[in-house]
Structure 1
Protein backbone atom coordinates (compact mmCIF):
# COMPACT_ATOMS: atom_id res chain seq x y z
CA UNK A 1 0.00 0.00 0.00
CA UNK A 2 1.25 3.48 -0.88
CA UNK A 3 0.36 6.49 1.24
CA UNK A 4 -0.44 9.44 -0.99
CA UNK A 5 0.04 13.04 0.15
CA UNK A 6 -3.10 15.08 0.84
CA UNK A 7 -3.95 18.06 -1.33
CA UNK A 8 -1.96 21.15 -0.42
CA UNK A 9 -3.20 23.57 -3.07
CA UNK A 10 -3.30 26.57 -0.73
CA UNK A 11 0.27 25.94 0.44
CA UNK A 12 1.52 25.40 -3.12
CA UNK A 13 -0.16 28.62 -4.26
CA UNK A 14 1.43 30.53 -1.36
CA UNK A 15 5.04 29.40 -1.76
CA UNK A 16 7.02 30.61 -4.76
CA UNK A 17 8.75 27.30 -5.50
CA UNK A 18 8.56 23.58 -4.87
CA UNK A 19 11.18 21.56 -3.03
CA UNK A 20 13.88 20.46 -5.51
CA UNK A 21 13.68 16.77 -6.33
CA UNK A 22 17.39 16.55 -5.53
CA UNK A 23 16.57 17.47 -1.93
CA UNK A 24 13.98 14.66 -1.74
CA UNK A 25 16.57 12.17 -3.01
CA UNK A 26 19.07 13.43 -0.45
CA UNK A 27 16.47 13.13 2.31
CA UNK A 28 15.78 9.50 1.47
CA UNK A 29 19.50 8.76 1.74
CA UNK A 30 19.73 10.55 5.09
CA UNK A 31 16.56 9.60 6.97
CA UNK A 32 18.41 9.60 10.29
CA UNK A 33 19.45 13.24 9.88
CA UNK A 34 16.00 14.12 8.51
CA UNK A 35 14.27 12.73 11.60
CA UNK A 36 16.74 14.20 14.09
CA UNK A 37 16.48 17.64 12.50
CA UNK A 38 12.70 17.30 12.26
CA UNK A 39 12.62 16.77 16.03
CA UNK A 40 14.81 19.85 16.53
CA UNK A 41 12.52 21.91 14.28
CA UNK A 42 9.47 20.93 16.34
CA UNK A 43 11.25 21.91 19.56
CA UNK A 44 12.35 25.25 18.08
CA UNK A 45 8.82 25.95 16.82
CA UNK A 46 7.45 25.43 20.33
CA UNK A 47 10.15 27.70 21.77
CA UNK A 48 9.33 30.44 19.26
CA UNK A 49 5.64 30.28 20.18
CA UNK A 50 6.48 30.46 23.90
CA UNK A 51 8.80 33.42 23.28
CA UNK A 52 6.02 35.29 21.48
CA UNK A 53 3.67 34.59 24.38
CA UNK A 54 6.18 36.00 26.88
CA UNK A 55 6.81 39.15 24.84
CA UNK A 56 3.20 39.95 23.91
CA UNK A 57 1.13 39.33 27.02
CA UNK A 58 -1.31 42.07 26.01
CA UNK A 59 -2.43 40.33 22.81
CA UNK A 60 -5.03 37.66 23.71
CA UNK A 61 -5.47 36.30 20.18
CA UNK A 62 -1.75 35.66 19.96
CA UNK A 63 -1.68 34.07 23.41
CA UNK A 64 -4.44 31.62 22.52
CA UNK A 65 -3.08 30.60 19.12
CA UNK A 66 0.54 30.36 20.24
CA UNK A 67 -0.45 28.34 23.31
CA UNK A 68 -2.18 25.77 21.11
CA UNK A 69 0.69 25.80 18.63
CA UNK A 70 3.32 25.28 21.36
CA UNK A 71 1.40 22.30 22.79
CA UNK A 72 1.07 20.68 19.37
CA UNK A 73 4.70 21.25 18.43
CA UNK A 74 5.90 19.73 21.71
CA UNK A 75 3.64 16.73 21.10
CA UNK A 76 5.14 16.36 17.63
CA UNK A 77 8.62 16.60 19.16
CA UNK A 78 7.76 13.77 21.55
CA UNK A 79 6.34 11.69 18.70
CA UNK A 80 9.45 12.12 16.54
CA UNK A 81 11.70 11.23 19.48
CA UNK A 82 9.63 8.03 19.85
CA UNK A 83 10.14 7.29 16.14
CA UNK A 84 13.89 7.78 16.59
CA UNK A 85 13.89 5.32 19.50
CA UNK A 86 11.85 2.77 17.54
CA UNK A 87 14.35 3.01 14.66
CA UNK A 88 17.34 2.92 17.04
CA UNK A 89 18.54 6.33 15.85
CA UNK A 90 20.28 8.22 18.68
CA UNK A 91 18.94 11.73 19.19
CA UNK A 92 21.69 14.33 19.09
CA UNK A 93 22.22 18.02 18.50
CA UNK A 94 22.74 19.11 14.91
CA UNK A 95 23.98 22.43 13.66
CA UNK A 96 21.01 24.50 12.44
CA UNK A 97 20.23 24.97 8.78
CA UNK A 98 20.91 28.40 7.29
CA UNK A 99 17.17 28.58 6.43
CA UNK A 100 15.59 30.22 9.50
CA UNK A 101 18.54 32.51 10.07
CA UNK A 102 18.49 33.51 6.41
CA UNK A 103 14.85 34.52 6.74
CA UNK A 104 15.45 36.41 9.97
CA UNK A 105 18.27 38.40 8.39
CA UNK A 106 15.64 39.88 6.07
CA UNK A 107 13.48 41.13 8.94
CA UNK A 108 12.89 44.83 9.46
CA UNK A 109 14.71 46.50 12.33
CA UNK A 110 11.93 48.62 13.86
CA UNK A 111 10.04 46.93 16.69
CA UNK A 112 6.61 46.65 15.06
CA UNK A 113 7.97 45.72 11.64
CA UNK A 114 10.16 43.04 13.19
CA UNK A 115 7.18 41.61 15.08
CA UNK A 116 5.05 41.39 11.93
CA UNK A 117 7.92 39.91 9.92
CA UNK A 118 8.48 37.28 12.61
CA UNK A 119 4.82 36.22 12.33
CA UNK A 120 5.04 36.09 8.53
CA UNK A 121 8.25 34.05 8.71
CA UNK A 122 6.54 31.67 11.12
CA UNK A 123 3.83 31.15 8.52
CA UNK A 124 6.37 30.63 5.73
CA UNK A 125 8.27 28.01 7.73
CA UNK A 126 5.06 26.12 8.55
CA UNK A 127 4.03 26.25 4.88
CA UNK A 128 7.39 24.87 3.75
CA UNK A 129 7.18 22.10 6.34
CA UNK A 130 3.79 21.09 4.92
CA UNK A 131 5.12 21.14 1.38
CA UNK A 132 8.11 19.01 2.35
CA UNK A 133 5.98 16.45 4.16
CA UNK A 134 3.83 16.14 1.03
CA UNK A 135 6.91 15.82 -1.19
CA UNK A 136 8.35 13.05 0.98
CA UNK A 137 5.23 10.98 1.66
CA UNK A 138 5.11 8.99 -1.64
CA UNK A 139 8.71 7.81 -1.11
CA UNK A 140 8.64 6.79 2.55
CA UNK A 141 7.86 3.52 4.26
CA UNK A 142 4.21 3.08 5.23
CA UNK A 143 4.67 3.93 8.91
CA UNK A 144 6.60 7.16 8.40
CA UNK A 145 4.45 8.22 5.45
CA UNK A 146 1.31 7.76 7.54
CA UNK A 147 2.79 9.84 10.36
CA UNK A 148 3.88 12.66 8.09
CA UNK A 149 0.47 12.69 6.45
CA UNK A 150 -1.09 13.15 9.90
CA UNK A 151 1.07 16.24 10.51
CA UNK A 152 0.03 18.18 7.43
CA UNK A 153 -3.35 19.29 8.78
CA UNK A 154 -1.91 20.82 11.95
CA UNK A 155 1.05 22.41 10.17
CA UNK A 156 -1.32 23.96 7.62
CA UNK A 157 -3.39 25.40 10.48
CA UNK A 158 -0.23 26.85 12.03
CA UNK A 159 0.56 28.50 8.69
CA UNK A 160 -2.92 30.04 8.62
CA UNK A 161 -2.71 31.15 12.26
CA UNK A 162 0.58 32.96 11.77
CA UNK A 163 -0.68 34.86 8.74
CA UNK A 164 -3.96 35.67 10.51
CA UNK A 165 -2.01 37.18 13.40
CA UNK A 166 0.24 39.13 11.03
CA UNK A 167 -2.84 40.65 9.35
CA UNK A 168 -4.51 41.33 12.70
CA UNK A 169 -1.58 43.18 14.25
CA UNK A 170 -0.42 44.89 11.07
CA UNK A 171 -3.77 46.72 11.17
CA UNK A 172 -2.72 48.29 14.49
CA UNK A 173 0.09 50.19 12.82
CA UNK A 174 0.15 49.82 9.03
CA UNK A 175 3.65 50.09 7.56
CA UNK A 176 4.79 51.97 4.49
CA UNK A 177 4.81 48.68 2.58
CA UNK A 178 1.45 46.85 2.34
CA UNK A 179 1.49 43.48 4.11
CA UNK A 180 0.98 41.56 0.86
CA UNK A 181 4.12 43.14 -0.58
CA UNK A 182 6.05 42.39 2.59
CA UNK A 183 4.97 38.75 2.47
CA UNK A 184 6.04 38.54 -1.18
CA UNK A 185 9.44 40.01 -0.32
CA UNK A 186 10.03 37.44 2.42
CA UNK A 187 8.80 34.66 0.12
CA UNK A 188 11.38 35.73 -2.45
CA UNK A 189 14.09 35.39 0.21
CA UNK A 190 12.69 31.95 1.08
CA UNK A 191 12.73 30.83 -2.55
CA UNK A 192 16.40 31.79 -2.84
CA UNK A 193 17.23 29.76 0.28
CA UNK A 194 15.35 26.71 -1.03
CA UNK A 195 16.66 26.79 -4.58
CA UNK A 196 20.28 27.79 -3.98
CA UNK A 197 22.97 25.16 -3.26
CA UNK A 198 23.37 24.12 0.36
CA UNK A 199 26.43 22.25 1.62
CA UNK A 200 24.66 20.73 4.64
CA UNK A 201 21.54 18.55 4.59
CA UNK A 202 18.75 19.50 6.97
CA UNK A 203 14.94 19.38 6.98
CA UNK A 204 14.82 22.95 5.62
CA UNK A 205 18.08 22.95 3.65
CA UNK A 206 18.31 24.15 0.08
CA UNK A 207 19.20 22.23 -3.05
CA UNK A 208 22.10 19.81 -2.45
CA UNK A 209 25.44 21.20 -3.56
CA UNK A 210 28.16 19.17 -5.23
CA UNK A 211 29.97 19.17 -1.88
CA UNK A 212 27.36 16.73 -0.57
CA UNK A 213 28.23 14.06 -3.10
Structure 2
Protein backbone atom coordinates (compact mmCIF):
# COMPACT_ATOMS: atom_id res chain seq x y z
CA UNK A 1 0.00 0.00 0.00
CA UNK A 2 1.38 3.43 -0.90
CA UNK A 3 2.15 6.02 1.80
CA UNK A 4 -0.89 8.10 0.83
CA UNK A 5 -3.21 5.10 1.01
CA UNK A 6 -1.66 4.04 4.31
CA UNK A 7 -2.35 7.51 5.72
CA UNK A 8 -5.95 7.44 4.51
CA UNK A 9 -6.42 3.97 6.01
CA UNK A 10 -4.96 5.07 9.35
CA UNK A 11 -7.37 8.02 9.43
CA UNK A 12 -10.27 5.73 8.58
CA UNK A 13 -9.54 3.58 11.62
CA UNK A 14 -10.01 6.64 13.81
CA UNK A 15 -13.20 7.82 12.11
CA UNK A 16 -15.18 4.59 11.67
CA UNK A 17 -17.20 4.56 14.89
CA UNK A 18 -18.60 7.63 16.63
CA UNK A 19 -19.64 5.99 19.89
CA UNK A 20 -18.35 3.13 21.99
CA UNK A 21 -20.44 0.12 22.93
CA UNK A 22 -22.27 0.55 26.22
CA UNK A 23 -21.74 -1.40 29.43
CA UNK A 24 -25.39 -2.44 29.15
CA UNK A 25 -24.65 -4.29 25.90
CA UNK A 26 -21.67 -6.07 27.44
CA UNK A 27 -23.79 -7.22 30.39
CA UNK A 28 -26.57 -8.40 28.06
CA UNK A 29 -24.14 -10.25 25.79
CA UNK A 30 -22.20 -12.11 28.47
CA UNK A 31 -25.47 -13.08 30.17
CA UNK A 32 -26.74 -14.71 26.96
CA UNK A 33 -23.67 -16.35 25.39
CA UNK A 34 -25.43 -18.94 23.25
CA UNK A 35 -27.90 -16.48 21.76
CA UNK A 36 -25.01 -14.13 20.93
CA UNK A 37 -23.15 -17.05 19.37
CA UNK A 38 -26.17 -17.98 17.28
CA UNK A 39 -26.56 -14.38 16.13
CA UNK A 40 -22.83 -14.28 15.38
CA UNK A 41 -23.29 -17.24 13.03
CA UNK A 42 -25.99 -15.33 11.18
CA UNK A 43 -23.76 -12.23 11.02
CA UNK A 44 -20.94 -14.19 9.40
CA UNK A 45 -23.37 -15.73 6.92
CA UNK A 46 -24.79 -12.33 6.04
CA UNK A 47 -21.32 -10.80 5.69
CA UNK A 48 -20.41 -13.44 3.13
CA UNK A 49 -23.66 -12.66 1.32
CA UNK A 50 -22.87 -8.94 1.20
CA UNK A 51 -19.49 -9.57 -0.42
CA UNK A 52 -21.05 -11.90 -2.99
CA UNK A 53 -23.89 -9.47 -3.68
CA UNK A 54 -21.40 -6.70 -4.45
CA UNK A 55 -19.44 -9.03 -6.73
CA UNK A 56 -22.57 -9.79 -8.73
CA UNK A 57 -23.88 -6.22 -8.76
CA UNK A 58 -20.57 -4.80 -9.99
CA UNK A 59 -19.38 -7.76 -12.03
CA UNK A 60 -17.47 -5.55 -14.49
CA UNK A 61 -15.74 -3.41 -11.85
CA UNK A 62 -11.97 -3.97 -12.22
CA UNK A 63 -10.29 -5.59 -9.23
CA UNK A 64 -13.46 -6.01 -7.18
CA UNK A 65 -14.03 -9.75 -7.46
CA UNK A 66 -10.35 -10.43 -6.82
CA UNK A 67 -10.72 -8.79 -3.41
CA UNK A 68 -14.26 -9.75 -2.42
CA UNK A 69 -14.14 -13.42 -3.39
CA UNK A 70 -11.51 -14.33 -0.76
CA UNK A 71 -13.28 -12.08 1.74
CA UNK A 72 -16.56 -13.96 1.21
CA UNK A 73 -14.73 -17.27 1.53
CA UNK A 74 -13.19 -16.18 4.84
CA UNK A 75 -16.56 -15.04 6.16
CA UNK A 76 -17.96 -18.49 5.37
CA UNK A 77 -15.01 -20.10 7.15
CA UNK A 78 -15.87 -18.03 10.20
CA UNK A 79 -19.53 -19.05 9.86
CA UNK A 80 -18.50 -22.71 9.79
CA UNK A 81 -16.32 -22.28 12.86
CA UNK A 82 -19.12 -20.64 14.84
CA UNK A 83 -21.61 -23.26 13.61
CA UNK A 84 -19.25 -26.04 14.70
CA UNK A 85 -19.04 -24.59 18.20
CA UNK A 86 -22.83 -24.25 18.35
CA UNK A 87 -23.25 -27.86 17.28
CA UNK A 88 -20.67 -29.03 19.82
CA UNK A 89 -22.82 -27.43 22.50
CA UNK A 90 -26.00 -29.07 21.32
CA UNK A 91 -27.37 -26.10 19.40
CA UNK A 92 -28.50 -25.95 15.79
CA UNK A 93 -28.70 -23.01 13.42
CA UNK A 94 -32.19 -21.53 13.57
CA UNK A 95 -33.99 -18.34 12.65
CA UNK A 96 -33.45 -15.41 14.94
CA UNK A 97 -35.26 -12.07 14.99
CA UNK A 98 -32.90 -9.36 13.74
CA UNK A 99 -32.43 -5.98 15.44
CA UNK A 100 -33.22 -2.91 13.29
CA UNK A 101 -29.52 -2.01 12.95
CA UNK A 102 -28.83 -3.53 9.53
CA UNK A 103 -32.12 -2.35 8.02
CA UNK A 104 -31.51 1.22 9.21
CA UNK A 105 -28.07 1.29 7.61
CA UNK A 106 -29.33 -0.28 4.38
CA UNK A 107 -32.13 2.28 4.16
CA UNK A 108 -29.55 5.08 4.16
CA UNK A 109 -27.57 3.73 1.20
CA UNK A 110 -28.03 6.04 -1.79
CA UNK A 111 -30.17 4.45 -4.50
CA UNK A 112 -28.32 6.10 -7.41
CA UNK A 113 -24.89 5.20 -8.76
CA UNK A 114 -22.08 5.87 -8.23
CA UNK A 115 -23.00 6.83 -4.64
CA UNK A 116 -24.72 3.49 -4.19
CA UNK A 117 -21.38 1.74 -4.63
CA UNK A 118 -19.61 4.11 -2.24
CA UNK A 119 -22.29 3.82 0.43
CA UNK A 120 -22.37 0.05 0.09
CA UNK A 121 -18.64 -0.15 0.79
CA UNK A 122 -18.90 2.24 3.74
CA UNK A 123 -21.90 0.53 5.33
CA UNK A 124 -20.23 -2.87 5.02
CA UNK A 125 -17.11 -1.37 6.58
CA UNK A 126 -19.03 0.21 9.46
CA UNK A 127 -20.68 -3.11 10.27
CA UNK A 128 -17.30 -4.86 10.22
CA UNK A 129 -15.83 -2.14 12.46
CA UNK A 130 -18.64 -2.54 15.01
CA UNK A 131 -18.27 -6.32 14.88
CA UNK A 132 -14.55 -5.95 15.56
CA UNK A 133 -15.19 -3.67 18.54
CA UNK A 134 -17.75 -6.02 20.06
CA UNK A 135 -15.74 -9.19 19.48
CA UNK A 136 -12.84 -7.52 21.24
CA UNK A 137 -15.10 -6.75 24.20
CA UNK A 138 -16.33 -10.35 24.28
CA UNK A 139 -12.78 -11.67 24.06
CA UNK A 140 -12.02 -9.66 27.23
CA UNK A 141 -15.22 -9.96 29.27
CA UNK A 142 -16.72 -13.37 28.44
CA UNK A 143 -16.38 -15.81 31.37
CA UNK A 144 -16.34 -18.69 28.85
CA UNK A 145 -12.73 -19.32 27.82
CA UNK A 146 -13.69 -21.11 24.59
CA UNK A 147 -15.73 -18.08 23.53
CA UNK A 148 -12.93 -15.73 24.52
CA UNK A 149 -10.60 -17.66 22.26
CA UNK A 150 -13.07 -17.68 19.37
CA UNK A 151 -13.64 -13.93 19.48
CA UNK A 152 -9.96 -13.20 20.04
CA UNK A 153 -8.96 -15.37 17.07
CA UNK A 154 -11.34 -13.49 14.75
CA UNK A 155 -10.20 -9.97 15.65
CA UNK A 156 -7.38 -9.68 13.12
CA UNK A 157 -9.52 -10.75 10.17
CA UNK A 158 -12.40 -8.48 11.24
CA UNK A 159 -10.02 -5.52 11.29
CA UNK A 160 -8.72 -6.49 7.86
CA UNK A 161 -12.24 -6.75 6.48
CA UNK A 162 -13.28 -3.21 7.34
CA UNK A 163 -9.91 -2.06 6.02
CA UNK A 164 -10.67 -3.79 2.72
CA UNK A 165 -13.98 -1.98 2.32
CA UNK A 166 -12.35 1.35 3.10
CA UNK A 167 -9.60 0.70 0.55
CA UNK A 168 -12.13 -0.27 -2.12
CA UNK A 169 -13.87 3.06 -1.55
CA UNK A 170 -10.63 5.09 -1.32
CA UNK A 171 -9.40 3.72 -4.65
CA UNK A 172 -12.57 4.74 -6.48
CA UNK A 173 -13.90 7.95 -4.96
CA UNK A 174 -12.77 11.48 -4.22
CA UNK A 175 -11.43 11.81 -0.71
CA UNK A 176 -13.68 14.73 0.28
CA UNK A 177 -16.79 12.87 -0.86
CA UNK A 178 -15.57 9.72 0.86
CA UNK A 179 -14.98 11.50 4.16
CA UNK A 180 -18.31 13.33 3.98
CA UNK A 181 -20.34 10.18 3.34
CA UNK A 182 -18.45 8.26 6.03
CA UNK A 183 -19.29 10.96 8.58
CA UNK A 184 -22.97 10.86 7.61
CA UNK A 185 -23.23 7.08 7.66
CA UNK A 186 -21.23 6.76 10.88
CA UNK A 187 -23.80 9.06 12.50
CA UNK A 188 -26.58 6.79 11.23
CA UNK A 189 -24.73 3.77 12.63
CA UNK A 190 -24.25 5.46 15.99
CA UNK A 191 -27.88 6.60 16.21
CA UNK A 192 -29.08 3.07 15.37
CA UNK A 193 -27.45 1.83 18.58
CA UNK A 194 -28.41 4.68 20.93
CA UNK A 195 -31.68 3.03 21.88
CA UNK A 196 -30.53 -0.51 22.47
CA UNK A 197 -32.66 -3.31 21.06
CA UNK A 198 -33.14 -5.40 24.20
CA UNK A 199 -32.50 -8.79 22.67
CA UNK A 200 -28.98 -10.22 22.87
CA UNK A 201 -27.52 -9.63 19.42
CA UNK A 202 -24.12 -8.67 18.07
CA UNK A 203 -25.59 -5.40 16.79
CA UNK A 204 -28.38 -4.66 19.26
Q: TM-score, normalised by structure 2?
A: 0.88
Query: 41, 44, 59: which one pairs with 1:42?
Result: 44
Q: Distance in 1 between matches of 2:187 and 2:130?
A: 13
Q: Where does residue 96 of structure 2 map in the other structure?
A: 94
Q: Where does residue 51 of structure 1 map in the other structure?
A: 53
1:156 aligns with 2:145: no
Change (3 A) 1:145 1:13: farther
Q: Distance in 2 between matches of 1:13 and 1:84?
A: 34
Query: 115, 121, 132: which one pairs with 1:113?
Result: 115
Q: Distance in 1 between matches of 2:146 and 2:170?
A: 37
Q: Distance in 1 between matches of 2:15 and 2:152?
A: 19
Q: Distance in 1 between matches of 2:15 and 2:29?
A: 24
Q: Secondary structure at the match of 2:172?
A: helix
Note the 1:76-91 alignment, pairs <5 A: 76-91=78-93
Q: Where does residue 128 of structure 1 map in the other structure?
A: 130
Q: Distance in 2 between matches of 1:202 and 1:138?
A: 17
Alpha-carbon distance, 1:11 to partner: 4.6
**CA-to-aligned-CA distance 1:120-160 (integer Å, 9 cap, x gap):** 00100000000001111122222111111110111111100
Query: 164, 169, 182: which one pairs with 2:172?
Result: 169
Change (3 A) 1:73 1:102: same
Alpha-carbon distance, 1:64 to partner: 1.2
Q: Distance in 2 between matches of 1:18 and 1:91?
A: 29
Q: Distance in 2 between matches of 1:11 and 1:31?
A: 28
Q: Secondary structure at the match of 1:133?
A: helix
Q: Cα RMSD over matched residues?
A: 1.8
* Contact 1:27–1:34 (8 Å) recurs in 2: yes
Alpha-carbon distance, 1:60 to partner: 3.2
Q: Secondary structure at the match of 2:171?
A: helix
Q: Where does residue 178 of structure 1 map in the other structure?
A: 177
* Contact 1:130–1:152 (8 Å) recurs in 2: yes
Q: Distance in 1 between matches of 2:12 and 2:149?
A: 21
Q: Gapped runs of 5+ residues in structure 2?
A: 1-10
Q: TM-score, normalised by structure 1?
A: 0.85
Q: Distance in 2 between matches of 1:16 and 1:113?
A: 22
